[in-house]
Amino acid sequence: MIDENITAADTDAEPGVKLWKFCRDSQMVEWDWATGMPDIQRLSPVRSPASSALSRHIPVQGYSQVAGASLDFESGLEFELMLTLDRLPTTRHLVSQPFRLTWLDGVWHVPDLLSVDSEGEVTVWDARAEDRQDDRFLSVSQRTARACADVGWHFQVFPGLSSRASLNLRWLSGARRRPEWLSTTKDLVRSVVQDGAVIGDVMDGDDSGRHLTASMWHLMWTGQIAVDLNERWTRNTSISWHESTN
């Protein structure tokens, strides 16, 4: 969330960060970076998104498999970002509304999401569609990117997926949980897919319980079965096996 009272002119000359504020162990703290990086596992959101009659967004809540908890978001686009990161095998932790930055001129900003990968790299995210990235947003994003770089973190803007990819991702998110029978069906699915196949090939070889099909959707979520998210999926959609994916 960006301070809605600022103008583009207010962000032209960056005065430097006044403070970082985190919610650690449910207590708001002003962070002193001289003590090192905060323990991200102990962080919680610094604010809870809310809506009003004049709000542009409707708060949503979504379960993150990586975080092992439901996270609060200000929009469906932020939820889409969470699903995108949740699907990456390298994502290790997620925090929504992770901190509040305040600059010396009073401008403040709360990024949408923070992620940590398997190498310990931290990335701070803002979700904003390209057609809504106005001068004010871009200026505050640049400030945030510089503030993150100063402490060894990364910053990225997520503009959203295509409509087709978004729908497909949400469909796959329903198969995030590992099926209890996967240990016995994975090799069967791989034998069908490994030399190149289409979705219908797996469905046609399934039993009455549809265990192979359910396994296929889960393996598509994890990335072990590759599929084009931007394609309209039918029985004739091409899929392939990616052995290197965990």
Integer Cα distance of 96 and 192 in angstroms = 39
Integer Cα distance of 40 and 51 in angstroms = 27
- Residues contacting 244, CB < 8 A, separation 6+: none
pLDDT at 16: 80
Three-state SS annotation for 194-226: CCCEEHHHHHHCCCCCCHHHHHHHHHHHHCCEE
pTM over the 0.85 mark: yes
DSSP β-bridge partners for residue 19? 102
Integer Cα distance of 240 and 246 in angstroms = 15
Reading the chain (246 residues) residue by residue, the pLDDT tens digits are 555 444 444 445 567 888 999 999 999 999 999 999 999 999 999 988 665 555 566 778 899 999 999 999 989 999 999 999 999 999 999 999 999 999 998 999 999 999 999 999 999 999 999 999 999 999 999 999 999 999 999 999 999 999 999 999 999 999 999 999 999 999 999 999 999 999 999 999 988 889 999 999 999 999 999 999 999 999 999 999 987 544
Element (H, E) at 20: strand 17-24
pLDDT at 139: 93
Angle at 76 between CA 121 and CA 167, to 5 degrees: 95
Integer Cα distance of 31 and 126 in angstroms = 21
DSSP β-bridge partners for residue 127? 158
Integer Cα distance of 161 and 229 in angstroms = 9
Q: Are strands 27-31 and 60-64 parallel, antiparallel or unpaired?
A: unpaired
pLDDT at 207: 83
